[in-house]
Amino acid sequence: MNNLDNPTIFLREDYLAPNFAIDQVYLEFSLNPNKTIVKSTLHMRRLGPGSLVLKGEELELISIAVNQEDYRDFEVNSKELTVHHLPEVFDLEINCSNQPNINSSLMGLYVSNDNFFTQCEAEGFRKITYFLDQPDVLTKFTVKLNASKVDYPVLLSNGNLIEEGELNNGWHFAVWEDPFPKPSYLFALVAGKLEVLERQYITNSGSKKLLQIWVEKKDLSRTKHAMESLIHSIEWDEKRFGLELDLERFMIVAVGDFNMGAMENKGLNIFNTKYVLADQHTATDIDFANIESVVGHEYFHNWTGNRVTCRDWFQLSLKEGLTVFRDQEFSADLMGSDSGRTVKRIEDVRLLRQVQFPEDAGPMAHPIRPDSYQEINNFYTVTVYEKGAEVVRMLHTLLGETGFMKGMKLYFARHDGQAVTCDDFLACMADANQFDAKQFQYWYSQAGTPQVSIKEQYNEVAKTYTLQISQTCPPTPNQSVKAPFHIPLKTKLLVPGQASDEFLIELKETEQQVVLKNIQTKPILSINRDFSAPVILNFDQPENELLFLFDQDDNAFNRWEAIQKIASNNILNNIAPSDPLIEGYRKLMLDPTLDPAFKELCFTLPAETYLHEQLETVDPQIVHHAKVHYQNVLGVRLINEWENLYEANLIASPYSPNAVDAGKRALKNFALKMLLDSNLAKFEAIAFEQLKNCDNMTDFLAALTLLVHYESSFAAEALNLFYQRHQGNDLALDKWFAIQASKPPKQSGKIVQDIRKLKLHSDFKMRNPNRVRSVIHTFCMNNPAGFHDASGEGYEFWYDNVLELDGINPQVAARLARALDRWKKFDAPYQAIMHSQLEKLLTNPLSNDVKEVIQKALN
């Protein structure tokens, strides 16, 4: 924590294979919250010359032995243990200790609610013991856990339980053995007072598996959905990818203090409680869907991540991009209909555009396979994950399902049990399909969102239709000039009353012409269907054509895309919705054949952060008010229809989180929002009634959000009702806080002081990442009008909290630090204050994590 130090920059091109192998490790833990002793015995083999350099941080070294003899030929500092003059083959025994109780970074071994947990990805294992803590060192682990039996009745680690028993003084032990060699980042242990939900599972090939979900006793009744999600995940991976569970036992453990969503430790996934616990009274439809997708994601890592892992952390997208693609497909398949698939696709694309496009245009822009980093924790990004998944999806589009699966088959045949690179993955896709991936690889090496410009020309006489397509990619840090990408564009020419086929344009050149013959009348272009490529499309399509696509395109994604384009144009140019547009909306509302979830997505206006990206310079208050105004016009002009939609989508049957009912609730609650938006006094009572009478969190939370955000006279009472009902339930209280932190400023003006007050609430906990995110991150990243207050008080709040958090949990602080990423894009007065807060922050001692983000922002 010293800014005078020059930060180390790690480069992809500096990769060196390890000079030692660890064939086996035997770990013995004496678990004590104040001081845990770890005895590690490594069976090692020399692979190359030199000393052995083991990583280790925040450890106290007790002793070292080589081949059972005390050993002194070593040096140790705060980061490394270097052991000299080692033989070809030997046993290295290391005794050290760490302090779980004071570990607030939630990396390594830590205590949460009196139980022990570990988090090792990416570099947490080195806070447990000295090790070759890098993903290309694969080792067979045997783990013995010793702990007090009353305090820690449950003792878990990876693999299979091979022994357990009693010790002296009320202690007991358990020995776990993982048959699969794995990198240290996949190690896990859990010890504490936990209860379990169990199921049996028989795989396709007939072997019996034990599935377990471990939680605190009070939470056991809320684990059913996670278990069903796990079973669906196992079935889906067998069916769609032909991949079976390879362990006798698969465990999920939930923990309330966790930096991320969940972690795919071999056979012992550790989850943020947010992605495990659900029942209708405390979780929303979105929570249910997220749990299914995260449970799937972690399970799918067992093959894409664990059986085949990453050679180094620059290859992170090898496992993450591929696994996100797999979880997206899993969720899409489980939607159970084509329109459900489209809904899922739209949600994924919205996230990409709202969060990844800004990242790719800002100071932290990096290729999905980065070339350098100062702190690897900063590279668990939407680029590595979501854009990484888009790149895999483009391969799927180019090769087709059959070709893609051939590539996957070859990937496992070649690399099962290995630590490999993105190039190795791409080579499998190419070799299995005779696909030339030379140009496609730029998606891995170049950052930035490509811009594709389209000009069309129809020749009446020759009956030809010509597309002039060009691509550029803006400069990004350390990459000023880009080579053209290989861009797959699913395309169709629509002519009213005529059938036509979809085709694939493979854009490879900077400029490319596509000429289509025998086109009898001027067609309407439907391009980048299903968002087949993650690009920004510049194509001036007139509103009447967009309305035609909105109404008629047989690609439902592009129907949504057309209406979003119209809405963006109108909001950014302050144009009121035209009469034909209002008619288009009305028709959509009344169409009985359309999925309510799809309708809701069509009505939902583009996010403010997405609108910001389309402007040269941003006045966030102007954008906010333009959007609010536009929405209000839609509310007022269609008021009767909104009332009807609200009524028509009430559900009489008991609550179920299935996609159809969830879609109805989403549409109904959107209608409610439009009603309150157009006339609060008239409709707020409906919202309050809904809140009091509903049987589920989705409807309750939707009504509460509206009452609070619209400053209804019922707001205080409604908030109080929620609080009384859910006191003591952390996940529910997170929602209670988040609603208040995301409230846009209304008549009341600034809301920064309200957010500061929220932090003083007795349930606010600066050490709990979920709670911190629900207040601080929500305000700074999810409340643009509140945060970007012209006074700059939002930015001051940001400064105070980044600094405070950095002393507790650098990863969580660094995420927050990124709220000012796009400061250069804002109008001068905003920009100036953001800039001064960024500079001021850098005058403090900072973690590597935060320092990297701030330095890059200022560059």
- The footprint of ligand PHE (CB under 6 A) covers 119, 121, 259-260, 262-264, 297-298, 320, 380
Instruction: Find which of Zn ion, ligand PHE, none residue 260 binds, CB within 5 to 8 Å per kind.
Output: ligand PHE
- Measure the CA–CA gap between 695 and 387, rounded to whole angstroms: 38
3-class DSSP state for residue 32? Answer: coil
Give the footprint of Zn ion on residues 602-661 (CB under 5 A): none
Gyration radius of the chain over CA positions: 28
* Residue number with CB closer to ligand PHE (264 or 806): 264
**Nearer Cβ to ligand PHE, position 264 or 360?**
264
Cβ 204 to Zn ion shortest distance, Å:
24
Torsional sign, CA 351, 357, 363, 366: positive
Taking the complex as a whole, how short is the minimal distance between the CB of residue 750 and ligand PHE, in angstroms?
36
> In angstroms, what is the minimal distance from the CB of 269 to ligand PHE?
9
| 361 upstream amide cis, omega within 30 of 0 | no
Binding-site size, Zn ion (CB under 5 A): 2
What's the closest the beta carbon of residue 325 comes to Zn ion, in angstroms? 11
Separation in Å, CA 140 to CA 24, 44, 210, 482, 622: 5, 12, 22, 43, 59
Span near Zn ion by CB under 5 A; candidates 167-175, 313-321, 466-474, 556-564: 313-321
Distance, in Å, from the CA atom of 500 to the CA atom of 49, rounded to the nearest integer, reads 66
The one catalytic residue among 93, 123, 292, 298: 298
H-helix segments, 534-578: 543-552, 556-572
Q: Nearest distance from residue 113's CB to Zn ion, in Å?
A: 25
Identity of the residue, 320 or 456, whose beta carbon is nearer to Zn ion in the bound complex: 320
**Structure tokens given for 19:** 């000079």
Instruction: Identify the three-state secondary structure at position 570.
Output: helix
**Interacting partner of 121 out of ligand PHE, Zn ion, none (Cβ under 5 to 8 A depending on kind):** ligand PHE
Q: How far is the CB of 537 from ligand PHE (least distance, A)?
A: 30
Report the partner that residue 109 touches, choosing among Zn ion, ligand PHE, none (CB closer than 5 to 8 A by kind): none
> Cβ closer to Zn ion: 323 or 564?
323
Question: For the stretch 502-516, what's the b/e string if a residue is b when 16 or more beta carbons lie within 10 angstroms of its beta carbon?
Answer: eeebebeeeebebeb
Element (H, E) at 41: strand 36-46
Question: From the CB of 389, what's the least distance to ligand PHE, in Å?
Answer: 11
- Enter the tokens of residue 198: 């169990």
149: exposed, middle or buried (Cβ count in 10 Å: 0-12, 13-18, 19+): middle
CA dihedral for 429, 431, 434, 440, sign (positive or negative)? positive
- Nearer CB in complex with ligand PHE: 342/374: 374
* Nearest CB to ligand PHE, comparing residues 370 and 584: 370
Q: Round to whole Å and give the CA distance between 764 and 775.
A: 9
Q: Which residue is nearest to ligand PHE (CB)?
A: 260
Residue 247, classed as helix, strand or coil, is coil
Shortest Cβ 82–ligand PHE spacing (Å): 27
- Minimum distance from residue 169 beta carbon to ligand PHE (Å): 35
Residue with tokens 């320092």: 851
Q: CB of 304: closest distance to ligand PHE in angstroms?
A: 11
The question of whether 195 is a catalytic residue gets the answer no
Q: Could you list the beta-strand ranges (E) of 72-230.
A: 74-76, 80-83, 89-98, 108-112, 115-119, 140-148, 154-157, 160-166, 171-177, 189-192, 195-202, 208-215
The interface with Zn ion within residues 320-349 (CB under 5 A) comprises: 320, 323
Contacts of residue 462, Cβ cutoff 8 Å, sequence gap at least 6: none
Residue 299 Cβ vs ligand PHE, minimum distance, rounded to whole Å: 10
**Nearest partner of 309 among 265, 252, 345, judged by Cα:** 265
For residue 775, give the amino acid letter: V
| HSE-up of residue 673 (Cα within 13 Å, Cβ side) | 22
Pick the closer one to Zn ion by CB: 269 or 441.
269
Mark 1-36 as b/e (b = at least 16 C-beta within 10 Å): eeeeeeeeebebeeeeeeebbbeebbbbbbbbbeeb
Three-state secondary structure readout of 432-495: HHCCCCCCCCHHHHCCCCCEEEEEEEEECCCCEEEEEEEEECCCECCECCCCCCCEEEEEEEEE
**Residue 321 or residue 363: which is nearer to ligand PHE going by CB?**
321
Element (H, E) at 681: helix 680-693
Helix or strand run (H / E) with residue 515: strand 511-516
Shortest Cβ 622–ligand PHE spacing (Å): 37
Choose the contact partner of 241 out of ligand PHE, Zn ion, none; CB within 5 to 8 A by kind.
none
Cα–Cα distance for residue pair 366/381, rounded to 1 Å: 9
- From the list ligand PHE, Zn ion, none, partner contacted by residue 397 (C-beta under 5 to 8 A by kind): none
3-state helix, strand, coil in the chain (%, to 5): 45, 20, 35
Asked whether 278 and 226 are in contact (CB, 8 A), the reply is yes
The residue among 561 and 806 lying less far from ligand PHE, judged by its C-beta, is 806
Q: In terms of CB distance, is 302 or 339 closer to ligand PHE? A: 302
Question: Minimum distance from CB of 245 to Zn ion (Å)?
Answer: 17
Task: Return the structure tokens found at 462.
Answer: 């020759």
Q: Which is nearer to ligand PHE, 54 or 262 (CB)?
A: 262
Q: Retrieve residue 77's tokens.
A: 């500092």
Strand (E) or helix (H) holding 796: helix 793-806
Bridge partners of residue 397, in order along the sequence: none
Q: Which is nearer to ligand PHE, 158 or 491 (CB)?
A: 158
- Judged by CB under 5 A, the stretch of 235-243, 318-326, 776-784, 844-852 that binds Zn ion is 318-326
State which residue, 121 or 789, has the beta carbon closest to Zn ion.
121
Interface contacts to Zn ion, rule CB under 5 A: 320, 323
Residues serving a catalytic function are 298
